[in-house]
């Protein structure tokens, strides 16, 4: 009986791990569709989501509201520029004197 329970537990853990990985790949695919470049004028955060408001070069209002998969929130200051290129998963924060690249992270792993 004990061997059967061990096999069932291992199978369940494998299925859960595989499902979590698929979810990360789905999130990454979504993130790669995003295309932003704007100056941040406001920021907010709730649970797992971050929101940045700002303006692009043409003075269009921009709202960036996504899951916090980069660990960027605490580094952002009003006046910084946020750059997210379509086709890439990394998020770039441009400050007055520094540029910081934040890689996409999901489930405790970095994805490229």
Q: What is the mean pLDDT of the chain?
A: 84
The domain in which residue 9 lies consists of 2-110
Rounded-to-integer distance, Cα 46 and Cα 23, Å? 21
User: Could you tell me what percent of the chain has a pLDDT over 70?
Assistant: 79
pTM of the model: 0.75
Sign of CA dihedral 15, 20, 26, 32: negative
Rounded-to-integer distance, Cα 9 and Cα 59, Å? 55
Per-residue pLDDT averaged across 63-78, rounded?
90
Rounded-to-integer distance, Cα 50 and Cα 71, Å? 10
How many domains would you assign to the chain?
1
Per-residue pLDDT averaged across 75-80, rounded?
96
Helix, coil or strand: residue 100: strand
Q: Tell me, what's the pLDDT at 47?
A: 80
Segment (H or E) for 67? strand 61-67
8 against 75, higher pLDDT: 75
């Amino acid at each position: 009986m004990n061997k059967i329970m061990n096999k069932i537990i291992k199978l369940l853990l494998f299925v859960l791990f595989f499902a979590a990985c698929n979810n990360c790949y789905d999130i990454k695919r979504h993130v790669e569709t995003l295309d932003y470049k704007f100056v941040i004028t406001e920021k907010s955060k709730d649970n797992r989501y971050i929101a940045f408001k700002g303006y692009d070069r043409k003075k269009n209002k921009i709202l960036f509201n996504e899951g916090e998969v980069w660990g960027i929130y605490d580094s952002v200051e009003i006046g910084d520029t946020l750059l997210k290129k379509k086709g890439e998963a990394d998020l770039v924060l441009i400050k007055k004197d520094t540029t910081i690249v934040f890689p996409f992270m999901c489930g405790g792993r970095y994805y490229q």
